[in-house]
Amino acid sequence: MPLVHIALRHTTPERIAAIRDGVYAALRASFEVPENDRFILVSQHEAHEFDYDPGYLGIARSDELVFVRINCSASRGVTQKKALYRDIVERLVQSPGLRPEDVFIHLVETARENWSFGHGAMQYA
């Protein structure tokens, strides 16, 4: 049930598709997300709308930085989260060729009753 929001500087549709596909594949593999549970938003930004520190925590980021925010239920442990972070980075390095330093991931966990997938129903509670 993850809801993924990807934010990046303007780029090509092919690059966006590769990032979306890589994140979804990692969620399927590392977080055991079911097939077709794919809800991904992408926002592209101009340079003046995209602010980041290029050296925070000693990580050398570039303008190719991609923010990946994943909202999901609070049901996974630290080991599984670490595996997801590694998997996303490995896939995005492979395609579309991002640098590991340019993949910023933020996981936001919520209770299962905080989700409605339609009809005003609380499907997971």
The set of catalytic residues is: 2
Q: Which among 37, 36, 41 is positioned nearest to 6, based on CA atoms?
A: 41
Question: CB of 4 within 8 A of CB of 69?
Answer: yes
- Decide: helix, strand or coil at residue 60: coil
- Residue 1 CA to residue 12 CA, distance in Å, equals 27
- Residue 77 CA to residue 20 CA, distance in Å, equals 24
Whether omega for the bond prior to residue 2 falls within 30 degrees of 0, making it cis, is no
